Structure 1
Amino acid sequence: MGFDMQEALSLKRIFILLLVCLFGVHFMAQEDTLVLGVFPQRNEEITFKLYSPFTSYLSKKMGRNIRLDISKDFDSFWYKMENDLFDIVHCNGYQYLVAHKKYNFHLLGVIKRHGRTTMTGTIIVRKDSGINSIADLQGKEIVFGGGLESSRCGIIAKKLLLDGGLSPQHYRNKFALSPPNAALAVYLQQVDAAGISDDMLESDFILRRMDLSQIRVLARGQQYIHLPWACSNRVDPELRASIQAILLSMNENPEGREALNTANYDAIVFADDSDFNSFREAVFQVNGEHY
């Protein structure tokens, strides 16, 4: 009987040890996994194709698992940002400013695309629309891709309209799911005008679907620093520095260049938070927010 009791206790200890090991490994795996979030400029399928090689490269270089998290729309992406569910994030300028001030996200770098580290917003119309100036947009329907939180299609475009003498009550707002869809809506004559970034008209999505000879750039804004990559404050400073070093050197490595090319980038380059100051001023002018 004593032997049976000892055996039972031994088996119980082994069982508990196995549970500890199994759950310990599970928790360690979760802890070792970094979540990389990408804001939804495009639909989920395209975003996955563009950023999967990028994620794999970063994971390989860091020697740890990185999970690519794709959001279906700007609202779900922003919910994850607010709740600090991303370790590494690629977002737009407005989202970075808010995350930096409210949640202490750290800037890792900005993208370089088509040889440029800056971008701007534009207002586009069809050439056959009869719209030849900002003033002609009074009472018209203007679409912005992704809503006001999209720095390219919301804030910069609305600043262009304000600078041209049109406040929001002078035109009708409409929001597309993404910036490319906003441009397409103009081409298909579903709306009168769209606020998009200047490099959107160079994207493969647009070039395959639109005859740009039918499109007029009605207004173009000043240049602002390009799209940022940032890191949660939860990430250890040493690990954050390692992530930044890998990102900034991707274009020096054949595999890194391939991943960058798939995402339509030339490189990720160093930037300082102060490089966003001119955009901070635009945000304040449009919606009165201080970041």
Structure 2
Amino acid sequence: AVTIRLFSPLAGHLEKSLGVKVRLETASNFAAFQRNIETRRYDLVHFNQYQYIKAHEKQRYDVLVQNEEFGEKTIKGAIYVRKDSGITRISQLKGKTILFGGGKDAMMSYLVPTYLLRRAGLRQGDYKEAFAVSPPNAVLSTHLGQADAGGAGEVVRRLPLVMEKIDTEELALLAVSEPLPHLPWAVKQEIPEIMKRRIKEALLALKESADGRKILKRARLSGFNAANDETYDAHRKIIRFLED
């Protein structure tokens, strides 16, 4: 799997730094991942922001670090349209199809774009929701005219995977959120504090060495930054707004 290939060097780094066996696992689908979170199978988890907030509340996971991508520790949610679509205002999406990247738990590709729609006055039922398997697919499909608009992180248009396939200059950002803290990595609360500190230090140190930067590059990251639970309060406000 792609995820195993991307993160195997990182798992090896942790194993060497911590002096314990580290097994890298992926789930075959979201339902399997969620079952494993509910049974607390994982000691260290790479969550999206929404998943982390819920797992912190229900399964007692605590964040240690957050992603840094393209040198940025924040990420913005966005709504994409083709520049030649004639759509220049969110209100014009009424009756249109919006393709979101991932499922309804996708923080930057569904929840934040939906928040932008709600703040602009569009309600559930004012537009048709559709879902792509991933944020890049939502952007690619919007470019191909398979949807009137797409929901994904602003950073998606800068990914090599996307830039190699389409001319991103043909896309416009109809709406963009405020910068929000990036994806978290969290551990079970009962892991000893000394081990939490060692995991955190091992991840933070990666961008300080040439070998570490190679590991980060393989994982498509530029680094890790320290984070705590309060880091994700801005996301909590968005979630509460949508749940009210």
- Counterpart of 2:78 in structure 1 is 122
| CA distance in 2: counterparts of 1:166 and 1:267, whole angstroms | 37
Give CA deviations for 1:130-162 in whole Å, capped at 9, x if unaligned.
Answer: 222101100111111111211111111100101
- Counterpart of 1:278 in structure 2 is 234
Offset, 1:46:
2.2
Offset, 1:234:
4.2
Q: Does 1:268 align with 2:241?
A: no
One-letter identity of the residue aligned with 1:127 = K
Q: Secondary structure at the match of 1:276?
A: helix
Which structure dedicates a bigger proportion of its chain to helix? 1
Gaps of 5+ in 1: 1-44
One-letter identity of the residue aligned with 1:55 = A
Q: Does 1:70 align with 2:26?
A: yes
One-letter identity of the residue aligned with 1:102 = K
Q: Secondary structure at the match of 2:24?
A: strand
- Counterpart of 2:125 in structure 1 is 169
| CA distance in 2: counterparts of 1:165 and 1:109, whole angstroms | 35
One-letter identity of the residue aligned with 2:132 = A
Identify which range, 62-71 or 192-201, moves more after superposition: 62-71
- Counterpart of 1:136 in structure 2 is 92
Q: Decide which of 132, 154, 162 is 2:110's aligned counterpart.
A: 154
Q: Secondary structure at the match of 2:71?
A: coil
One-letter identity of the residue aligned with 1:74 = F
For the Cα contact (< 8 Å) 1:87–1:234, is it kept in 2?
no
Give CA deviations for 1:215-258 in whole Å, capped at 9, x if unaligned.
Answer: 11111111111111101234233222211111111112332211
RMSD of Structure 2 on Structure 1 (CA): 1.3
Task: State the TM-score, normalizing by the size of structure 1.
Answer: 0.80
Of structures 1 and 2, the one scoring higher in RCO (CA 8 A, sep 6+) is 2
| CA distance in 2: counterparts of 1:122 and 1:263, whole angstroms | 23
Q: Secondary structure at the match of 2:23?
A: strand
| CA distance in 2: counterparts of 1:167 and 1:56, whole angstroms | 47
- Counterpart of 1:213 in structure 2 is 169
| CA distance in 1: counterparts of 2:186 and 2:24, whole angstroms | 15
| CA distance in 1: counterparts of 2:140 and 2:27, whole angstroms | 22
One-letter identity of the residue aligned with 1:146 = G
Off by >3 Å, runs of 4+ in structure 1: none
| CA distance in 2: counterparts of 1:143 and 1:274, whole angstroms | 31
1:51-130 → structure 2 map (5 Å cutoff):
51-130=7-86
One-letter identity of the residue aligned with 1:179 = P
Task: State the TM-score, normalizing by the size of structure 2.
Answer: 0.95
Q: Secondary structure at the match of 1:68?
A: coil
Give CA deviations for 1:91-134 in whole Å, capped at 9, x if unaligned.
Answer: 11001100111111011111111121111100001122222210
- Counterpart of 2:198 in structure 1 is 242
Q: How many residues align?
A: 244
Offset, 1:86:
0.9
For the Cα contact (< 8 Å) 2:62–2:228, is it kept in 1?
no
One-letter identity of the residue aligned with 2:35 = Y
Gaps of 5+ in 2: none
- Structure ID, larger Rg: 1
